């Protein structure tokens, strides 16, 4: 499955709204599973090495933090492997000065049990729907490992980092797709998707 197909499956807003004007810069980190890459460190390092030439250091750090967290979540909570892909998009032709619409997108996905089932495995939580489960998982220190007070930071801190740089995070799990853009959240019902996909989209040049 190509990157665009992957994003279309999750209905990524960049493709819905901007696909006609977006051109890839040709910087692509193809779909790789954590297992194939050699683990979460290897896949995070792969992403870092391939994007660092093109992406603002602040953005790269936020993406790195997000990928570490989302891959770790998938490996620990989904019961399956995690896959990662990334692409740099520019809104116009090469040689053009940096533009505030230029983006880097990273998608992390798994085909495991999904956020709702993962949280429901803890006696502390019983989300009644996928949207409730995703909203709950976005709260700081909410985790299926509820007995450890430091767990449950990944999704909330990733949303914080991405939002702080003007980016968006799309979480799709079960029958819900929830978009986080700064303080704003919107959820829509979607056909059932096994597992969880998290798509991070950040401007290449924050503040431009």
Residues 3-42 that bind another protein (CB under 8 A): 40-41
| CB 68 to another protein: min, Å | 3
DSSP class of 76:
I
Q: Say how many residues touch another protein, by CB under 8 A.
A: 19
Q: Which residues, in sequence order, are CB contacts of 27 under 8 Å at separation 6+? A: 50, 51, 54, 87, 88
- Which residue's CB is nearer to another protein, number 7 or number 155? 155
The overall longest dimension of the chain from CA atoms, in Å, is 55
Count of CB atoms situated within 10 Å of the CB of 87: 24
CB-based contact 152:143 (threshold 8 Å): yes
Span interacting with another protein, options 78-86, 88-96, 142-150, 197-205, rule CB under 8 A: 142-150
CB of 172 to another protein, least distance (A): 22
What does the block give as tokens for 183?
A: 């303080």
Q: Which residue in the set 154, 174, 195, 203 belongs to the binding site for another protein (CB under 8 A)?
A: 154
26 or 39, CB closer to another protein?
39
User: Is 45 among the residues that bind another protein (CB under 8 A)?
Assistant: yes
User: What are the CA-CA distances from residue 87 to residues 57, 61, 98, 107, 133 (Å)?
Assistant: 16, 16, 16, 9, 29
The angle formed by the CA atoms of residues 202, 206 and 208, to the nearest 5 degrees, is: 130
Mark residues 50-79: x for contact with another protein by CB under 8 A, - for none.
-----------x--xx--xx--x-------
Where along the sequence are the contacts to another protein (CB under 8 A)? 40-41, 44-45, 48, 61, 64-65, 68-69, 72, 141, 148-151, 153-154, 157
């Amino acid at each position: 499955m190509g990157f665009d197909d992957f994003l279309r499956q999750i209905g990524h807003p960049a493709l819905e709204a901007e696909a006609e004007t977006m051109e890839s810069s040709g910087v692509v980190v193809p779909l790789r599973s954590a297992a194939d890459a050699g683990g979460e460190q290897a896949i995070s390092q792969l992403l870092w090495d391939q994007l660092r030439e093109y992406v603002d250091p602040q953005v790269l750090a936020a993406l790195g933090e997000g990928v570490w967290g989302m891959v770790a979540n998938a490996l620990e909570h989904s019961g399956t492997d995690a896959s990662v892909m990334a692409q740099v998009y520019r809104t116009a032709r090469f040689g053009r000065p940096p533009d505030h619409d230029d983006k880097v997108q990273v998608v992390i996905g798994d085909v495991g049990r999904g956020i709702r089932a993962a949280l429901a495995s803890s006696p502390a939580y019983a989300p009644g729907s996928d949207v409730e489960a995703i909203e709950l998982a976005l709260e700081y220190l909410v985790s299926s490992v509820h007995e450890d007070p430091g767990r449950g930071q990944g999704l909330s801190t990733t949303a914080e980092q991405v939002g702080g740089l003007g980016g968006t995070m799309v979480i799709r799990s079960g029958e819900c797709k929830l978009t986080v853009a700064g303080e704003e959240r919107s959820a829509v019902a979607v056909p059932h998707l096994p597992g969880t996909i998290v798509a991070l989209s950040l401007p290449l040049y924050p503040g431009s």
